[in-house]
Chains A and B, each alone.
Chain A
């Protein structure tokens, strides 16, 4: 007998309780509840109430919207273009096995390199505006997708190819019925990781040099010791990161509905 799902099961309850508790303790040790007791100076850790007020102001004067759209634009346009280019070039390279073997060490080196290390040079090349961050998140998405596509083609199950060949498939049909779907499953399975990396790349790029964006706002506030604003930006990033990863988990489950669903 399967129980009907309860709206408030124990897990949800505990999640809310723990969040409330953490906020309460935070507020307390930073002197927000009993003013004479200050364990840690709010200059360092701010306070939930101060952060909430700052967040409200940040939203009200329109800066939040500007920063949010800048960061999202950087991350998502990099993500989309990187994904497409990665799939295309990955498929292309898999046709030239010798070339692939020649460039393999380069690819491995590029993939293992922390992509953030490219941020300073990108700012030199593409300036302080959006393009340098777009390129950075493009590179993140591209390298992951490219590698996955290439490996996806190489790891196609030979026995599936044989089976479909015996059923009468031409090489073209084998490509469309076996090889491409197998590659897509590799690429789709990496969407979530990919979108996370794109967000990291955009923010890291903003740290190095920018004129707007959540990362830029954060760095600016940190220089002025506006801890409230730093935390506002921090929570904003956390929320959009969470929403992006969750929605891509849904997209992934949707696209790969033929395999057991991803839960976490």
Chain B
């Protein structure tokens, strides 16, 4: 039996501002080396969930109940400790590269923070930049490269310190359809290369099916688990070819019925109570 890496137990999050209940008694677990996609209507609290796991919700902004365990250790109890972060990688939806650092310096940042010498870090970075296809762009600044390239730099920056658990918050949401598919293929290749545990939040069901072993469907706000599905499409998968796979469509239709319900609910809610 595989071991549990991440357990979310009865997690509830209520933002003080506007008294918004983002997450209510949410439970799910992620096994070692598993790719789990979390889908739900937009604005349902998916990002809040990831921020809870990464512990970057500032105290005083929200009331957090329940617990999150990484490798059996509770991370919410120890208020000041950030030791668990060493195991975590987090790829944000928005571009969070430091604009004043070159591509290379952005990628080696996690190593610099860990006290790795610059020369050693740069030789490691070389491999990772090659992997994401950005050799030759080392000395560019983020504003000089395209959105898709910046997202690949972020990917390299997340992977370079080899986190055991990677959180991804709609990592390709801002990219055009074409770039997104090739990014999905890239992520799958890299995952194949060095398997880690991945929690991927997305509102794109096709992306979820393409990448994940298991899909957790969340309800409209406040988010709680509505249903879980296994995706039994054999690997390696190809993001583009999958679109013509009958198995892909069967899974898609089954989950979509569930998801569409919640999307409708979420829309109704926001119509009745404007933010």
Contacts and interface: CB of A to CB of B under 8 A. Distances in A.
B90 A168 contact: no
A160 B96 contact: yes
B141 interface: yes
A14 B196 CA distance: 65
A162 B82 CA distance: 12
Given A159-B96, A166-B88, A166-B89, A260 B56 contact: no
B89 A258 contact: no
A181 B141 CA distance: 14
B172 interface: no
Contact of A173 (B89, B92, B113, B161): B113
B143 interface: yes
A181 B99 CA distance: 10
Interface residues of A, number: 21
Contact of B90 (A166, A170, A185, A258): A166
Contacts, number: 60
Given A159-B94, A163-B92, A168-B86, A258 B100 contact: yes
A233 B143 CA distance: 44
A98 to B, nearest CB: 16
B52 to A, nearest CB: 13
A101 interface: no
A178 B142 CA distance: 15
Interface in B138-183: 141-143, 157, 161
Contact of A169 (B90, B102, B113, B141): B113
Contacts of A168: 85-86, 110, 113-114, 161
B76 interface: no
Majority DSSP secondary structure for residues of A touching B: helix
Interface residues of B, number: 26
B82 A181 contact: no
Interface string B95-115: 010111110000001100110
Given A166-B85, A258-B141, A178 B98 contact: yes
A258 B96 contact: no
B187 interface: no
B54 A185 contact: no
A178 B113 CA distance: 12
A45 interface: no
Interface in A94-144: none
A259 interface: yes
A97 B90 CA distance: 30
B116 to A, nearest CB: 11
Nearest to A184: B100
A250 interface: no
B53 to A, nearest CB: 10
A166 B56 contact: yes
Nearest to A181: B100
Interface in B43-75: 51, 54, 56
Interface string B203-214: 000000000000
Given A162-B56, A169-B113, A258-B102, 4 more contacts: A160-B98, A167-B113, A258-B141, A259-B143
13 contacts: A159-B96, A160-B98, A162-B54, A162-B56, A162-B92, A165-B82, A167-B161, A168-B113, A168-B161, A173-B113, A177-B113, A258-B141, A258-B143
Q: Which 6 A-B pairs have the closest CB atoms?
A: A163-B96, A258-B141, A166-B90, A162-B56, A167-B110, A181-B100
